Amino acid sequence: MTTVLDRPTTAAQPPARETTPRETRRQLTGVRVSDLLELCGSAVAALAMTAFVSTQLAPITSPLAFVAIALGAFLALYALLVWMTSPGVAVRDRLVTVVVHGLAFTVLAALVFVVTFTFARGAKALPHLNFFTQDMSLAGPLDPLSTGGIAHAIVGTLVQITIALAITVPLGLLTAVFLTEMPGRFARLVRTVVEAMTALPSIVAGLFVYATLILALGIPKSGVAAATAISIMMLPIMVRSSDVVLRLVPSTLKEASYALGAGQLRTVWQVVLPTTRSGLTTAVILATARGIGETSPVLLTSGFTASMNTNPTNGPMVSLPLAIFQFVKSPEPTMVARGFGTAAVLMLLVLALFVTARVVGGRTPLKVDARRRAKAARRAARDEARLERTSRHRPRGRRPLSRLDELIDDEPVHPKTPTPDQEQP
Amino acid sequence: MSILEIDAPAPPPPTAGTGDADVPRRIGTRRSASDRAFRAVLLAAGGAVLATMGFVGCFLLLRAWDALSRAGWSFLTTQAWEPDSGNFGIAAILVGTVLIATVAVTVAVPLATGTALYISEYAPTRVRQTLVSIVDLMAAIPSVVFGLWGFFFLQGHITGLARWLSTTFGWFPPFQVPGADPHDPLATATVYTSSTFIAGLVVAMMITPVVASIMREVFSQAPVGEREGALALGSTRWGMVRRVVLPYGKGGMIGGTMLGLGRALGETIAVYMIISPVFAIQWHVLANGGSSVSSLIALRYGESTPFGMSALMAAGLALFLMTLVINFAASSVVARSRSGASS
């Protein structure tokens, strides 16, 4: 902010010319009619031009080539139209706006199309209830959709992802806490190696487990082997995304906890983890979503079966992605429909995971809901009652009186924290 | 973070009133038993992860050593995969992998940049959060779903574009399709199917949301003050994006692209479903046939002799090393950029 002061010594100002009319307020927002007309006009012109070219001049049969030419013509015509009324800077701005909108809508439309395509092709299989309750052991490739289902694959996926989560979540979380709480040369090494392992292709993880557990140790192809391979894929993702979240915890929060005399375990348990709960949930969900969709490790380490197998330690156990892969290998339309139906179920599962993550992890620690507030109030009342009780019949000697007194007496005081005594002159 | 314990203060000096008798207190660290146990557990977890991850790398090298020592340098130059007769190498499949990833990144990066810019700069504020969720959700769609789409939809509908590209841009060597005669109206479209191009497109669909998600994150962190400064100086929206948002997000754009490239190199099932494997260098991306390391492993792992397994391990190791280099390059670029390593 600078203010320009009038100089009192300036010569007499030239008389203000009244040539310009009164200023009108310029419109800064909103869409002008001419903008819309330019867009529509060039679109219509481009379509007409391409139609003429493709029917009269050049034999263009592919609809994609038609679209490509139409897009090029549209951009050129639009640039020309804008250029007739606006300077070059505005032309570039408008062109980029159109291109960015086009790219974004292409991507979103394509993604939505992939999803709808899967659901549409799977729609024949999904309404049958047996699709969710039976396995494929009694259904041959020629059987109609009213027999057979993917219950075995759903169970297999759930079992495998549960085992993988039971390995990944504690180990990954502890490692991430290790990286932030005990920084040093060793932590740097671990971080580097974990970062390197995010690059591990899933098929190589599967190959590793196949060569170690199955070929070298003689463990049969089983759900546990698949879960191990999935864990190897999930672990780096889990560690890395939790590490990023944990590093964002404000150091003032941790220091406040230490200043109150809490130890490291208590600080991590009561300050760091609750603060980052939402981010950690996201990390778990990201890792789960990655693990649940992996096909190739399961293909290598577990193998395909058409029947239900609830024992993860023995025998092949199929997962949803692997079932999709096997279904669509068959040329039979019913099998392909089953494959698409399975894909739809898999996507619904991923969607459910994301919604769960939103619901569970979306609450920030600062927003305290009624239940937690009531709980905290009860705890405070209990503490108060206890303090009152202990202060009434105070035992002799230097025995700690309550947890609070214990903290005050025995736990150390941060030397840098200014105490009221030091502050007084 | 260390816990500091202060020794009991020195006995008060006999003559009160002077402050210079203060002796510095000794400060040491003594952790409680629970803290020591906690730190031991943390260390053990870190060590376990390091051991596991290190073991994967070492084991790959160990198992691959057999094949690597037999093949020597010809492993890098041979275009065949017959491990049991000793004639094998990754020249063809590595080139195939890189070509698929190149096609994927070439298609995905402009699309992802456009999507990220649209969400962070152009989209109405009301729908922005929804779009962010959609893109994040799309990034989690299993790759086999994209494989299905590529196999059952794209394969049949893309041949027209492939034919048009090869006839129009046939002067560009990778776009040539040997054996195709564009002037023959009865020619089958099979020369254009199962190609590197189609596999690359499917992988592009798969990595676009991932790349877009990272780019959007970085773009949205561009400082508001600089954006408003640019706009106040009279810049258009594109001028602001070009001079403020893109330079700020350059690190994230490169990092996101590299991450997408790493995913594209390692993609197995989608590529396996599309491509028909050939073990010769296939430069013609539009023509039938191609190969990638991961689809080779998925194809051959079951029928391999121990030596063949070792050869597959060597191929997997080569793929892993390639993705590793790309990953490290990406993280160093991102860490040096202004937007920082937090993404």
pLDDT digits (tens, 9 = 90+) for B93-117: 888 899 999 999 999 999 999 999 9
pLDDT at B45: 93
Helix (H) or strand (E) holding B6, with range, is strand B4-6
- Confidence check: pLDDT of B194 > 70: yes
For position B15, what pLDDT does the model report? Answer: 52
Q: Which of A101, A289, A292 lies closest to B118 in CB terms?
A: A101
Pick from A58-72, B10-24, B68-82, B229-243: least confident: B10-24
Chain B residues whose beta carbon lies within 8 Å of the beta carbon of residue A336: 152
Domain count, chain A: 2
pLDDT at B337: 76
Compute the average pLDDT of residues B247-274: 86
CB contact under 8 A, A267 and B25: no
Q: What pLDDT, on the 0 to 100 scale, is given for residue B19?
A: 56
What pLDDT, on a 0 to 100 scale, did the predictor assign at position A167? 93
Q: Which of B149, B160, B212 is nearest residue A114 as measured by Cβ atoms?
A: B149
Alpha-carbon Rg of chain A, whole angstroms?
Answer: 33
pLDDT band at B118 (very low <50, low <70, confident <90, very high): very high
What is the chain B residue with the closest CA to A88? B236
Mean pLDDT of chain B: 82
**Confidence bin at B84 (pLDDT 50/70/90):** confident
Length of chain B: 343
Q: How far is B53 from chain A (nearest CA, A)?
A: 7
Instruction: Give the Cα separation of A66 and A53 in Å (integer).
Output: 10
Distance between start and end Cα atoms, chain B: 25
Contact across the interface for A178 and B212, Cβ inside 8 Å: no
B208 domain-assigned: yes
* Mean pLDDT across B237-259: 88
Helix (H), strand (E), coil (C) string for A96-131: HHHHHHHHHHHHHHHHHHHHHHHHHHHCCCCCCCHH
3-state secondary structure of A420: helix
Tell which phi-psi region holds residue A384, choosing left (phi > 0), alpha (psi between -120 and 50) or beta. alpha
Q: Are A111 and A209 part of one and the same domain?
A: no
A contacts of B342 (beta carbons < 8 Å): 244, 247-248
Residue A69 and residue A155 in one domain = no
Closest residue in B to A110 (Cα) is B205
Closest residue on chain B to A341 (Cα): B145
| Residue that wins the pLDDT comparison between B339 and B22 | B22
Region A189-212: mean pLDDT is 86
A29-33, A127-131, B112-116, B230-234 — which is least confidently predicted? A29-33
Q: How far apart are CA A339 and CA A347, in angstroms?
A: 12
Give domain status of residue B33, yes or no.
no
How many CB atoms lie under 10 A from the CB of residue A305?
21
pLDDT confidence band for B241 (50 / 70 / 90): very high
Chain segment A291-313, per-residue pLDDT in tens: 888 888 888 888 888 888 888 88
| Per-residue pLDDT tens over the stretch A218-249 | 888 888 999 999 999 899 989 988 988 898 88
Contact B319 A239 (CB under 8 A): no
Contacts of B212 in chain A (CB under 8 A): 107
* More confident of the two residues B337 and A272: A272
Q: Identify which of B114, B158, B312 has the shortest CB distance to residue A100.
A: B114
pLDDT digits (tens, 9 = 90+) for B126-159: 888 889 888 888 888 888 899 889 888 888 777 7
The answer to whether residue A261 is domain-embedded is yes
Query: In chain B, which residue's Cα lies nearest the Cα of A262?
Result: B3
CB contact under 8 A, A415 and B140: no
In a domain, B311, yes or no: yes
Contact A208/B59 with Cβ under 8 angstroms? yes
The Cα of A376 is separated from the nearest Cα of chain B by a number of Å equal to 25
Same domain, A100 and A193: no
Closest listed residue to residue A242, CA positions, set A191, A166, A205: A191
The contacts of residue A424 (CB under 8 Å, 6+ apart) are none
Whether residue A30 is predicted with pLDDT greater than 80 in this model: the reply is no
Average pLDDT value for residue range B245-267: 87
Buried b (16+ CB within 10 A) or exposed e, A330-350: eeeebbbbbbbbbbbbbbebb
B248 forms bridges with which residues in the sheet? none
Nearest beta carbon to residue B118 from set A90, A104, A114: A104
Q: Is residue A324 part of a domain?
A: yes
Token pair 């487990």 in the structure block, residue: A209
Residues of B in contact with A28 (CB under 8 A): none
Total domains present in chain B: 1
Quote the minimal CA–CA distance from B160 to chain A in Å. 5
Do A323 and A225 belong to one domain?
A: yes
| Structural domain containing residue A301 | 151-361
Q: Which of B183, B242, B320 to mutate to test the interface with A (most CBs of A within 10 A)?
A: B320
Would the CB atoms of A267 and B158 count as touching at under 8 Å? no
In a domain, A266, yes or no: yes
The DSSP string of A202-254 is: HHHHHHHHIIIIIIIS-PPS-HHHHHHHHHHHHHHHHHHHHHHHHTTS-HHHH
- d(CA A346, CA A293) in angstroms, rounded, equals 8
Asked whether residue A288 falls in the same domain as residue A163, the answer is yes
The number of helix segments (H) and strand segments (E) in chain B equals 14, 4
Of A195, A247, A324, Cβ closest to residue B327 = A195
Say yes or no for a CB contact (<8 Å) between B144 and A324: yes
Per-residue confidence (pLDDT) for residue A7, from 0 to 100: 52
Q: Are residues A103 and A165 in the same domain?
A: no
Res. A19 pLDDT band, cuts 50 70 90: low
Nearest chain B Cα distance for residue A9, angstroms: 31
- Binning chain B into helix, strand and coil, the percentages to the nearest 5 are 70, 5, 25
Question: A104 and B53: CB-CB below 8 Å?
Answer: no
Q: What percent of chain B has pLDDT over 90?
A: 19
pLDDT at site B3: 45
Tell me which chain A residues have a C-beta less than 8 angstroms from the C-beta of B54.
193
pLDDT of residue A306: 82
Q: Do residues A113 and A159 both lie within one domain?
A: no
Check B41 against A174: CB less than 8 A apart. Answer: yes
Q: E-strand spans in A344-416?
A: none
Nearest chain A Cα distance for residue B56, angstroms: 7
Are A321 and B131 inside 8 Å of each other by CB? Answer: no
Tell whether A136 is covered by a domain.
no
pLDDT at A217 over 70: yes
Mean pLDDT, residues B265-285: 82
pLDDT recorded at residue A20: 65
Contacts of B110 in chain A (CB under 8 A): 103
Residue A385 lies in a domain: no
Which CATH number fits the domain that encloses residue A328?
1.10.3720.10
Contacts of residue B236 in chain A, CB cutoff 8 Å?
89-90, 92-93
Residues A95 and A156 in one domain: no
Q: Residue B221's domain is classified under what CATH number?
A: 1.10.3720.10
Q: What is the pLDDT of residues A307-346, one digit of tens each?
A: 888 888 888 888 899 999 888 888 888 888 889 999 999 9
Look at A188 and B89; give whichever has higher pLDDT.
A188
Give the confidence band of A22 by pLDDT, cuts at 50, 70, 90. confident
Is A93 inside a domain boundary?
Answer: yes
Mean pLDDT value of segment A112-116: 90
- Closest by Cβ to B111, choosing from A61, A103, A193: A103
User: Is pLDDT larger for residue B268 or for residue B282?
Assistant: B268
Which of A121, A239, A264 lies at the smallest CB-CB distance from B35? A264
Residue A273 carries which side chain, given as an amino acid letter? L
Q: Tell me, yes or no, whether A191 and A326 share the same domain.
A: yes
- Chain centre to alpha carbon of residue A203: 23
Question: From A187, which residue of chain B is nearest by alpha-carbon distance?
Answer: B46
Residue A75 lies in a domain: yes
Give domain status of residue B70, yes or no.
Answer: no
Higher pLDDT, B329 or B4: B329
Residue B30 placed within a domain? no
- Domain end point (choices A339, A361, A383): A361
Q: Which of B26, B34, B113, B141 to mutate to test the interface with A (most CBs of A within 10 A)?
A: B141
Collect all residues with Cβ–Cβ distance below 8 Å to A352 and sequence separation of at least 6. Answer: none
Query: Average pLDDT, stretch B224-250?
Result: 91
pLDDT at position A411: 43
In 3D space, the residue among B286, B75, A273 whose CA is nearest the CA of residue A264 turns out to be A273
Q: Which domain holds residue B88?
A: 75-336
Is 70 exceeded by the pLDDT of residue B185? no
At residue B23, does pLDDT exceed 60? yes
The pLDDT assigned to A27 comes to 67
A212 class by beta-carbon count within 10 Å (0-12 exposed, 13-18 middle, 19+ buried)? middle
Asked if the Cβ–Cβ distance from B1 to A117 is below 8 Å, we say no
- Min CA distance, B45 vs chain A (Å)? 5
User: Which chain B positions have a beta carbon within 8 Å of A248's beta carbon?
Assistant: 342
The answer to whether residues A42 and A184 belong to one domain is no
pLDDT band at A18 (very low <50, low <70, confident <90, very high): low
Closest CB to A412: pick one of B6, B52, B146. Answer: B6
Q: What is the ipTM of this complex?
A: 0.81
Closest-CA residue of B relative to A325 is B144
Search chain B and give the residue with CA nearest A228.
B52
Most confident of A38-47, B66-75, B166-175, B266-275: A38-47
Residue B294's CB is within 10 A of a number of other CB atoms, namely 28
- Considering the domain architecture, whether residues A326 and A255 belong to the same structural domain is answered as yes
| A96·B316 Cβ contact <8 A | no
Best interface-test mutation with A: which of B2, B3, B128, B192 has the largest number of A CBs within 10 A? B3
Residue that is last in its domain, among A121, A138, A169: A121
Which range (A159-173, A382-396, B111-125, B248-262) has the least confidence?
A: A382-396
Tell me what the mean pLDDT of segment B49-61 comes to. 87
CA–centroid distance for A163 within its chain:
21
CB contacts of B160 in chain A (<8 Å) are 61-65
**Using 50, 70 and 90 to split pLDDT, how confident is the model at B42?**
very high
Q: Is residue A373 part of a domain?
A: no
What is the reported pLDDT for A420? Answer: 42
**First vs last Cα of chain A: how many Å apart?**
42
CB contact under 8 A, A296 and B269: yes
Asked whether residue A86 falls in the same domain as residue A161, the answer is no
